[in-house]
Amino acid sequence: MRKTTVTPADVARQIGRIPAQPGPKEASTMTDTVTGTMNRSGSETLGEAVNQTVDETVGDSPADAVIAGAGPVSRPGERPTVRLREAGPEDQPRYAPEWLQLREPADAAARAVDLLDPLRIRLANLPGARSGGLAVHDLGCGTGSMGRWLAPRLDGGQHWILHDRDPYLLHFAAVASPRAAADGSRVTVETRRGDVARLTADALVGASLVTASALLDVLTREEVETLAAACAGAGCPALLTLSVAGRVEFAAPDPMDEEITAAFNDHQRRGGLLGPDAVTAACEAFAAHGATVKVHPSPWRLGPQNVALTAQWLRGWVGAAVEERPELAERAEAYLATRLAACQAGELRVTVHHSDLLALARPTGGA
């Protein structure tokens, strides 16, 4: 299997045209069962995982920190973990690990650390938190960036159940997963393959926490309501980060900024998806189930240190706007060329607004 690396030079060679959304990748050649090789000194970095050629699987053993799984799997006495959404012609594309790797540092810098203290308090008071450790379900995990960011910030043993429909991405999430919590406790990982748009309370039995990153905005209102109901039924909190807010601010404004933003936002709402309305819908859904909801801004702040990411984001942002409103194409080409030139010169600064949401469901089990 060929290696799938990307460099800033690769990005630079591509920035002269308007593409569709950045990073789609089909993974039909990947096997359904994914595993990773780990050493006891710590996890591989995502860069090492992306550069690794994956051409064989490794059986699991007690020494492995990753449980291989094509999921959702049924074991004796185990309830189903996910109910799959029916795939269709409008199904969301898979994303290349290169794109997810490129955005990971900006994601990590943007996530709202102010939401962690109330989350830690709730987790410390969950039934069985001290004895059994935390069971964390990461929905639409991609390459596992949420786990790499959050697991080292929480105390106590943790078992992360990584859900994604793409076995290619699950591999990278597994091999680059963290091995230790903030206090040095062990972190283990299990991968389960499947779409996670629809959950039930049964799917989250035993869950301590549900997490997701950049997921809410690609769900429908019904799916968000189902997610809120599932978390409420299980009595577990949810930390849902980096949902698009529909606002972009350039340090040097251009008359076309608002047109591109509006067209992009309409593109995000295609097919009934929530796009920039996702956080409002999620607040309503969780509050309707009695959860306490906290929202905090989590913007990307891109500048000269993010040239490769900014270039890819710009191309995808403008490309989606033009796909939604083809009449913008000619002016958008000139707009994009100007913005990319400023980016390559290290002169472009842009804030891409996102929001993080913490929903604290009423605990069950007598807490």
* 101-117 confidence digits (pLDDT tens): 899 999 999 999 999 99
- Please report, rounded to a whole number, the percentage of residues in the chain having pLDDT higher than 90: 60
**Distance linking the first and last C-alpha atoms of the chain:** 50
Which stretches does DSSP call E strand in 131-284?
134-139, 158-164, 187-193, 209-213, 238-250
* Higher pLDDT pick, 306 / 6: 306
- Rounded to 5°, the CA angle 171-174-176 comes to 105
CA distance linking residue 171 with residue 235, whole number of Å: 30
pLDDT of amino acid 206: 87
Nearest to 273 by CA among 224, 313, 200, 238: 224
Give me the mean pLDDT over the 214-233 stretch. Answer: 93
Choice among 197-201, 227-231, 239-243 with the minimum mean pLDDT? 197-201
Q: Where does the pLDDT of residue 204 fall: very low under 50, low under 70, confident under 90, or very high at 90 and above?
A: confident
Q: What is the mean pLDDT of the chain?
A: 78
State the pTM of this model.
0.78
pLDDT for position 23:
37
Question: Residue 248 class from Cβ within 10 Å (0-12 exposed, 13-18 middle, 19+ buried)?
Answer: buried
**In this predicted structure, what is the pLDDT of residue 132?**
67
Q: What is the pLDDT of residue 165?
A: 84
Q: Dump pLDDT digits (tens) for 343-362.
A: 999 999 999 999 999 999 98
In this prediction, residues 223-227 reach a mean pLDDT of 92
Please answer whether residues 142 and 103 qualify as being in contact, where contact means their C-beta atoms are separated by less than 8 angstroms.
no
The pLDDT score that the predictor gives to residue 297 is: 98
Instruction: Return the percentage of the chain with pLDDT > 70, whole number.
Output: 70
Contacts of 162 (CB under 8 A, 6+ apart): 138, 141, 144, 147, 170, 173, 174, 177, 189, 190, 191, 192
pLDDT at 27 exceeding the cut of 60: no
Task: Read off the pLDDT band of 328 (50, 70, 90).
Answer: very high
At 243, is the pLDDT very low, low, confident or very high (cuts 50, 70, 90)?
Answer: very high
Q: What are phi and psi of 365, to 5 degrees?
A: 80, 20
pLDDT tens, position by position, 131-190: 668 999 999 999 999 999 999 999 999 999 999 888 888 988 988 999 999 999 999 999
Q: With 70 as the cut, is the pLDDT of residue 53 above it?
A: no
Q: Give the pLDDT mean for 192-196.
A: 75
Ramachandran class of 102: left when φ > 0, alpha when ψ lies in -120 to 50, beta otherwise: alpha
- Strands 66-67 and 187-193, by their bridges, are parallel
Over residues 67-92, the pLDDT tens digits come to 322 222 223 332 233 333 344 444 44
Res 63 pLDDT > 80: no
pLDDT at 121: 94
Question: Is 196's pLDDT higher than 50?
Answer: yes
Q: Looking at the predicted structure, is the pLDDT value of residue 45 above 90?
A: no
Q: Please give the average per-residue pLDDT across 240-258, as a whole number.
A: 97
Residue the block writes with tokens 């049924």: 74
217 pLDDT tier (thresholds 50, 70, 90): very high
Q: Which region among 33-42, 208-217, 331-340 has the lowest average model confidence (pLDDT)?
A: 33-42
Mean of pLDDT values over 4-24: 36
Judged against a pLDDT cut of 90, whether residue 47 lies above it is answered with no
